[in-house]
Amino acid sequence: MHFTIGLMCLMALGVNAAPSPADSSKYFTAKDLPKCSTNEDQLGECIKQIFNTMTPRLKDGNPDLKIPPYEPFHLNRTSFQYSSGTVNGRITVRNAKIYGFASNTAKDVSIKVDGDKVRMRLITYMPTMKIIGSYKADMQVNQLQLKPKGEFNVTLKDVETTTLTEGEIYRKDGHRFLRLSRIDTKPKIGDLKIKANGIFADPELDELALNVANQYWRDIYGIMLPETRQYWQPLILRMFNESLELVPIDQFIEE
Structural domains in the chain plus CATH codes: 2-251 (3.15.10.30)
Q: What is the pLDDT of residues 206-239, one digit of tens each?
A: 899 899 999 999 988 887 787 777 777 887 788 7
What pTM was computed for the model? 0.79
Write out the DSSP string of 141-195: ETTEEE--EEEEEEEEEEEEEEEEEEEEEEEETTEEEEEEEEEEEEEEEEEEEEE
User: What does the angle CA 75 – CA 222 – CA 101 come to, to the nearest 5 degrees?
Assistant: 35
pLDDT beneath 50, residues of the chain: 1-24
Q: What is the pLDDT of residues 20-48, one digit of tens each?
A: 444 445 776 666 677 788 777 788 888 88
β-pairing, 105-114 vs 144-146, is: unpaired
d(CA 167, CA 164): 10
